[in-house]
Amino acid sequence: MNIIEKIIASHSNKNFVKPGEIVDIEIDARVARDFGGPNVVKNLEDNKLSIDDVSKTFFTFDTNPTGSDQKYAINQHIVRTFARKHGIKVFDINNGIGTHTLFASGLAWPGSTAVTTDSHANILGAIGAFGQGMGDRDVAAAFHKGKIWFKVPESVKLNFVGNRPEGISAKDIVLNLLNKFGANTLLGKSVEFYGEAIDKLTLDERITIASMGTEMGVIILLFPPNKEVMEYCEERTGRKLNKIDADTDAAYAEVHEIDISKFVKMVSRPGKPHDAVDISSEKLVRIDSAFVGSCTNGRMEDMRAVANILKNRKIAPGVVMKIVPTTDEIWQQCLDEGLIKIFKDAGALFSNAGCAGCAAGQVGQNGPGEITISTGNRNFPGKQGKGSVYLASPATVAASAVAGYITSEDDIPDEPPVYDFSVVDEKLSDISLNTAAHEEKNTEIEGRVWIINEDNIDTDMIYHNRYLQITDPKEMGQYIFDNLEGHEDFAKKAKPGDIVITGKNFGAGSSRQKAVDGFKTLGIQAIIAESFGAIYERNAINAAFPILTYNDLSSLELKDGDIIRVNLETGEIKNVSKEKTSELEAFSEVQMEIYNNDGLF
């Protein structure tokens, strides 16, 4: 077996598992954040569910560590109250990003398993552990039962050859991989890293690369732990650990040879993390702000790289720079090493630890027309504000902040240029609709079709993060697709019974359940896509919301407004308007069971 199969087998009382097999996995760390946590509590209380093991159950407050938003403050109090009642440990607002807490507190180790309401929980692949972001129903089920169902993924092996070029950071490595594989080439796969250049990666570098597995559409990016990682995890757990490796005869769906010597410094252009290009093509693009942080690049090595560039320099006039470490431990280390003084002397804002720019309303947001260069993992439209976001390494972000435009650390001007800044007006629109839900359940459905010919429609396009505080499903439908260009009026025009057909990797991105529940509120009967983001797929199945995949529907000669009929059991799809038929992938046994049960609970 390979690494993911070994971890799953060892946590499901099986000697052997294979791709496609669905098993119940024992979860070592069951975690919910201040985002998603209140709905986890609601699911537990509404369904009168007990907690399986409080010693393995945790809450982490990282999306709003200041408690500055009133709705977040209310949600945090709901969670704290529940935690006190049941004796559950809360890593509160003074702690930092929850996934990094799992490393630092010894709650995750090589070969362990964890689930959380954070879509970047697969960052645990950095230490050879299984981590998955899941929706609030899944995590509530894990709190209660200690296990969740999971389909064993296929695995891909990446063999790295050649020498890593000088100045190529871990962020550059993962952006080069995004340039090669895009957002869905490896969709739903577990990916393992091998080679001399990989063995030399530090823990912080592995974390950076692993954290962007979600943006590549993979289940997880897994690194066999080296000596440094094993020593770190043993120190944090306080016990001797067994190293996990793939068997020499492990099977892989694909094997790729990657020549790391050809990697270059890169940035991702606004809107798509996988739109990664050589930095030379974007040099001299003026910036308004710079952000260093997120679970991808807020580690100590990142802080030192930024300080090395900012020392004895100033942020360019008209540029705002914000720096946010991942954990309070790193914040304290920045203080001890004198880095905070360097940041402040340069003119940067240094904030308390947390998710920052990836969470609405937190440090790192930008405004309409603003151009930001960021170390984050996502730059979807609206994700970090209403402006445009480039993704880059900490060194590139710091160099650009000093220069006033996108550049690398080896090409910083002696004096930044002076710009005439202009203001862009923001346009707002009101949306209202009838939010009647479609309640009828049937294994054969029929409805009017919407054809949305786009790949990689992410959850911020489906249900934007500015509405995350809404917890009543009845209010969610009106916001569906209002951040998807060309379909902003979808919620006004959709009718109960409609069916959506779209492209690859639908639902990429965040773990938000609302991107599923909003469709149910509108009465949409089903979504048919070439493939789905892994977390979105689980959320939809667990909510008993029909989703189906296809290989080729060209024979149906579909156009917007046609009436189609779909059999969920057989997978047959028919264009009633033209009397044409084709095939979809029918419901699995698990999907049908949950559908007939009207949901996971």
Q: What angle (nearest 5°) sits at the alpha carbon of residue 27, between those of residues 22 and 29?
A: 150
Tell me the pLDDT band of 385, cut-offs 50, 70 and 90: confident
The 10s digit of each residue's pLDDT in 255-298 is 999 999 999 999 999 999 999 999 999 999 999 999 999 999 99
Tokens found for residue 173: 């490595």
pLDDT (tens digit, 9 = 90+) per residue, 544-599?
999 999 999 999 999 999 999 999 999 999 999 899 999 999 999 999 999 999 99
The model's pLDDT over 143-153, given as tens digits with 9 standing for 90+, comes to 999 999 999 99
Q: How many residues does the chain have?
A: 601
Mean pLDDT of the chain: 92
Q: What is the pLDDT of residues 152-182, one digit of tens each?
A: 999 999 999 999 999 999 999 999 999 999 9
- Distance CA(293)–CA(55), nearest Å, equals 30
Residue 518 in contact with residue 525, Cβ under 8 Å? no
pLDDT of residue 370: 92
Look up residue 271 and give its two tokens: 């809107």
pLDDT band per the 50, 70, 90 thresholds, residue 314: very high
Fold match, 3-262 / 444-596: no
Q: What is the pLDDT of residue 422?
A: 56
Domain limits of the chain? 3-262, 266-403, 444-596
pLDDT number for residue 432: 44
User: Which option is the CATH number for 3-262: 3.30.160.60, 3.40.50.10490, 3.30.499.10, 3.90.105.20?
Assistant: 3.30.499.10
State mean pLDDT over 79-85.
Answer: 96
Tell me the mean pLDDT in the region 27-34: 96
Burial readout 482-508 (b: 16 or more C-beta within 10 A, e: otherwise) = bbbeebeebbeebebebbbbbbbbbbb
For residue 419, is pLDDT > 70? Answer: no
Single-letter amino acid code for the residue at 440 = E
Any idea what DSSP says for residue 296? T
Cα(342)–Cα(348) distance, integer angstroms: 9
CA angle 232, 205, 532 (to 5 degrees): 110
Q: Using a pLDDT cut of 90, give the percent of the chain over it.
A: 85
Residue 569: how many other CB atoms lie within 10 Å: 10
Could you read off the pLDDT of 93-106 as tens digits, one per residue?
999 999 999 999 99
Sheet of 57-60: strand order equals: 89-91, 57-60, 29-33, 113-116, 130-133
Neighbour-count burial of 471, counting CB atoms closer than 10 A to its CB (0-12 exposed, 13-18 middle, 19+ buried): middle
Residue 436, pLDDT above cutoff 50: no
**Identity of residue 433:** L
Q: In whole angstroms, what is the distance from residue 364 CA to residue 65 CA?
A: 13
**pLDDT-derived band of residue 358, with 50, 70 and 90 as boundaries?**
confident
Tokens of 526: 């089903």
Share of the chain above pLDDT 70, in %: 96
Q: What is the pLDDT, as a whole number, of residue 428?
A: 32
Q: For 266-403, which CATH class?
A: alpha beta
Q: Is pLDDT above 90 for 330?
A: yes
Name the residue among 556, 595, 535, 578 with its Cα closest to residue 451: 556
- DSSP of 306-327: HHHHHTT--PPTT-EEEE--SB
- Closest listed residue to residue 533, CA positions, set 428, 459, 426: 459
Average pLDDT over residues 499-528: 94
Cβ-Cβ contacts under 8 Å for 409 (sequence gap 6 or more):
167, 309, 395, 396, 398, 399
Quickly list H helices, 134-251: 136-145, 170-181, 196-199, 203-210, 213-216, 227-237
Q: Could you give the strand order of the β-sheet that contains 388-391, starting from the edge strand earlier in sequence? A: 276-278, 266-268, 388-391, 371-374, 289-292, 320-323, 349-350
pLDDT band at 71 (very low <50, low <70, confident <90, very high): confident
Residue type, 260: I
Beta strands at 276-278 and 220-222: parallel, antiparallel or unpaired: unpaired
Q: Which two tokens stand for residue 70?
A: 């009133």
Q: Domain 444-596, CATH 2.40.340.10 — does that match? A: no
The 3-state secondary structure of 479-532 reads: HCCCCCCCCCCHHHHCCCCCEEEECCCECECCCCCHHHHHHHHHCCCEEEECCE
Q: Are strands 29-33 and 254-259 parallel, antiparallel or unpaired?
A: unpaired
Residue 430 vs residues 123, 427, 474, 517, 519: alpha-carbon distances, Å = 38, 10, 17, 21, 19
CB 194 within 8 A of CB 156: no
Task: Give the pLDDT band (50/70/90) at residue 360.
Answer: low
Which H or E run includes 92? none
* Short-list 459, 372, 385, 528, CA closest to 119: 459
Rg (CA), the chain: 23
| Cα–Cα distance, 586 to 597 (Å, whole number) | 17
